[in-house]
Structure 1
Amino acid sequence: MNRDTQQTYLIEPTAPLIIRTGRPFDELSGTDPARFPPPSTLAGALRTAHARCMGKALNPELAKLAVAGPLAVMTDLDGNPHRVLVPQPSDAHYYHDGHQRQLVRAAPRALASGEGCDLPEGLWPLQLEQQFPGKVSPGPDWWAIEDLLAWRRNDRSLSFGQVEQNGWMPPPDDIRTHVAINRQTQASEAGKIFQTAGLSMWQSPHSPQCLPQFAVGLLGRIEGNIEPGVLNLGGERRLAKVKPWQNIWPGIPSALVSDIQQAGALTLTLLTPALFSAGWIPGWLDRDSLQGIPPGCSRLRLKLRAAAVKRWHPHSGWDLAANRPRASRKMVPAGATYWFDIQDDHADDIERLWLNHLSDENQDRLDGFGLALPFPYVRAMS
């Protein structure tokens, strides 16, 4: 995959997105909750749009086109993007004491003498950096990427209010009820009713207002050309506008490589869900030593020290070529954060880590799973 040949596209859904998990649909299980599109949904939409634009056949060769994303992007109501959004990091927690809300960090800490835990040998548990009275509070599911970078720098000026103002909290699910109408009686047919839950791509209102102040689109990349127009995205063939947009995909900070080398340790934060053969832990790590070389690198060897991973998300779909459901898989959710010590250093490999895909299988990486943001871990892990 050559990231230099990829082009960036802004996708603007025109209706709430229907993204299902592949769970069997019946009167007992109910509807799936609304969720953000997984990478495979965007990959299928962009590859199909590219094939139609270029007059290519819809065949398995399209799956070789590398796709990155989706990230969220905040746009004005005219569709002009302003801010790239990324999932809330799993090591960031929101607390409320009845008067104010605050960001509280969970960070790895080595076990003291006489302490123990049930984590794999060599892994450190996460502990809150400060004891904050109160209860866990809701907060934005998506952060501005600038706020994530400030969080990784341990910028003490970063506040909950800033994260909330710059971020995105999706509104409640858009529930729509569908019924079958008997043509003879013009009444609903008994038992033929179901609901869908859609993700509305605008901000959850904090105060009474008639219209949203901004919209949220999707940002994706593909090795191929797509003309401005519309494409189908997700279930029910919902439509979305697509157009190329340059100079918005996050670029690597100029001092990132040298800062990581100086720190001797780094974090990897997933910006899209990942698929690992060993569950929550990357399959490219040796299970005994917890060391390994990330995909796309040749000499950079990392040793896992800690991880902040929320509950897995189900992933499935429908295989149009085979006309059957795809096997269910467990995704490591976006926002998961891994802490590593650097064992063998190599500047070119560190640079390749920037927004590289770290899933185990090559096809999953081509589909966009496991997009990761590296950053120096500025506190000594000892």
Structure 2
Amino acid sequence: MSEFHFLQPLDVLYLRGNRLFGDSTASGEAIMPPWPSMAAGAIRSQLLASHGVDSGQFAQGNAALSGGLAQSLGTPDQPGDFRISHFLLAKSQACEGATPTSRPAEQVQVYLPLPADVVVLAENGSKQVHYLQPQRLPAVIQTSAPCQQIPVLRTAKQAKPAGGLWLNSAGIQAWLNGQAIDSSHLVESKSLWKIDSRLGIALDAQGRTTEEGQLYTVETVALAEDLGFLTGAAGAENLLPANGVLRLGGDGRGAQHTRIEWQSPQPDWAAIAQSKRFRLLLTTPGLFKQGWLLPGMTAENGGYRWKTHEFSARLVTASTARAETISGWDIASNQPKPALRAVSTGSVYWFDQFEGEVSTLQKLVEQSLFSIDAYPDRKRRAEGFNSILIGAWRS
């Protein structure tokens, strides 16, 4: 089970990726949505602080944990049961009678970047939303696609795709059920956050004096009012205080965290069981041993089949965004984390010929794809990568 907390920044956030600064006056770009590892580090540090454990001593292996905290966090080299299960941009809408320190009746609006199978076309000032659908191409058309079908956009006329759009809670539910998505389900990113550029200068590590010619600009993210991050933490039940302040993102900017009640949206599982087909959506970057292929996929009859000890399904096709590189800084060892290629958030996979119980898919959503394969390691598992949603696939 996951315990949910709403993380609301008290200042702008430094959400840098893994690109180094180049020449003088170089600019550091912010990434949105940020990697879930940001929340993992913040919440684990808060767990240690709330139990009187020095995080620096823990990172060096000099702090002995006990009881539930030891089972949750383990050690820096061998993490315990703790795992970020959900990490979504969200808006807090407190109900009447709620207080800043106790908000049990919290209502949360969550947002996701457009799934890769959703295309929004701008036509005459309006937005038309279309689903990509797998299509088998005529034999005369040759492609390098690894699947026999490819995702195809079918429209009456050409139009320019609109970018910078996210789905709100109603839009996410519509996607899960395979229902039509309309303009009321779309939110422009500019209404969720703004980019605020900050000027800085490098300092000499010993003398703490400024370095000549080392000016740089960093993009910070200023979230809109009441915006924050809905974060689900598994393996840490009743260990975190109900509310408090923690350090979030680069430069350790402050953020308030508050425990909330929230139910993850569910698809029409009965429709999936009846049709024997479904779509899979990555809600955080996917770290897979076989590149873009999900863990457990094997080549079969000119295509791919997804097999575990509990279910199997045939991969029809996939729509994956450009791969990204995930890294970070390992505080315990004071060195960069290994850089790994990742399948981007929002990538979609279509499956049919499903064999097994639908409950196994439900469990997969709850436990993430790490429940199939531990690649690359338990550290990345704890950081919340490989999280998914499963939705119905309707024609």
Partner of residue 264, structure 2:
250
After superposition, what is the alpha-carbon deviation per residue over 1:12-45, rounded to whole angstroms, capped at 9, x for unaligned? 1112221222222342693332112212121111
Change in 2 beyond 3 A, CA 1:286/1:28: farther
**SS of aligned partner of 1:89:** coil
Change in 2 beyond 3 A, CA 1:194/1:41: same
Q: Quick one: percent identity of the two aligned structures?
A: 23
User: Separation in 1 of the partners of 2:292 and 2:363?
Assistant: 23
Match of 1:48 among 42, 45, 49: 45
Match of 2:108 among 82, 85, 88: 82
Q: Tell me if the contact between 2:120 and 2:130 (Cα under 8 Å) persists in the aligned partners.
A: yes
Match of 1:159 among 182, 196, 208: 182
Partner of residue 194, structure 1:
216
Partner of residue 30, structure 2:
34
Partner of residue 174, structure 2:
150
Deviation at 1:315, TM superposition (A): 1.3
Establish whether residue 19 from structure 1 lines up as the match of residue 22 from structure 2.
no
Match of 1:280 among 289, 292, 296: 292
Q: Tell me if the contact between 1:266 and 1:375 (Cα under 8 Å) persists in the aligned partners.
A: yes
Partner of residue 71, structure 2:
none
Change in 2 beyond 3 A, CA 1:91/1:16: same
**SS of aligned partner of 1:173:** strand
Partner of residue 71, structure 1:
88
1:65 counterpart letter in structure 2: F
Change in 2 beyond 3 A, CA 1:310/1:28: farther
Deviation at 1:251, TM superposition (A): 4.7
2:6 counterpart letter in structure 1: L
After superposition, what is the alpha-carbon deviation per residue over 1:52-78, rounded to whole angstroms, capped at 9, x for unaligned? 223454542545412212111112499
Deviation at 1:193, TM superposition (A): 1.7
1:153 counterpart letter in structure 2: N
Q: Tell me if the contact between 2:178 and 2:393 (Cα under 8 Å) persists in the aligned partners.
A: no
**SS of aligned partner of 2:246:** strand
Partner of residue 376, structure 1:
392
Establish whether residue 104 from structure 1 lines up as the match of residue 166 from structure 2.
no
Structure 1: gaps spanning 5 or more residues: 203-211
Partner of residue 114, structure 1:
140
Q: Tell me if the contact between 1:109 and 1:125 (Cα under 8 Å) persists in the aligned partners.
A: yes
Deviation at 1:123, TM superposition (A): 3.6
Q: Tell me if the contact between 1:201 and 1:217 (Cα under 8 Å) persists in the aligned partners.
A: no
2:195 counterpart letter in structure 1: D
Q: Let me know the Cα RMSD of the aligned residues.
A: 2.8
User: Separation in 1 of the partners of 2:156 and 2:381?
Assistant: 39
1:263 counterpart letter in structure 2: S
Deviation at 1:200, TM superposition (A): 1.7
Q: Tell me if the contact between 1:264 and 1:342 (Cα under 8 Å) persists in the aligned partners.
A: yes
Partner of residue 307, structure 2:
293
User: Separation in 2 of the partners of 1:339 and 1:103?
Assistant: 19
User: Separation in 1 of the partners of 2:362 and 2:230?
Assistant: 25
Partner of residue 175, structure 1:
197
After superposition, what is the alpha-carbon deviation per residue over 1:238-279, rounded to whole angstroms, capped at 9, x for unaligned? 111112112x141535xx332211011110111111111122
Match of 2:251 among 204, 216, 236: 236
Establish whether residue 268 from structure 1 lines up as the match of residue 285 from structure 2.
no
Q: How many residues align?
A: 351
Match of 1:10 among 6, 24, 49: 6
Deviation at 1:324, TM superposition (A): 1.2
Deviation at 1:82, TM superposition (A): 3.1
After superposition, what is the alpha-carbon deviation per residue over 1:291-347, rounded to whole angstroms, capped at 9, x for unaligned? 1235xxx32112211111111122111112222111211221111110011342223
Q: Tell me if the contact between 1:276 and 1:282 (Cα under 8 Å) persists in the aligned partners.
A: yes
1:143 counterpart letter in structure 2: L
Q: Tell me if the contact between 2:84 and 2:232 (Cα under 8 Å) persists in the aligned partners.
A: yes
Please say which of residues 164-173 and 102-111 is displaced more in the overlay: 164-173
Q: Tell me if the contact between 1:42 and 1:220 (Cα under 8 Å) persists in the aligned partners.
A: no
Structure 2: gaps spanning 5 or more residues: 60-74, 101-105
State the TM-score, normalizing by the size of structure 1: 0.82
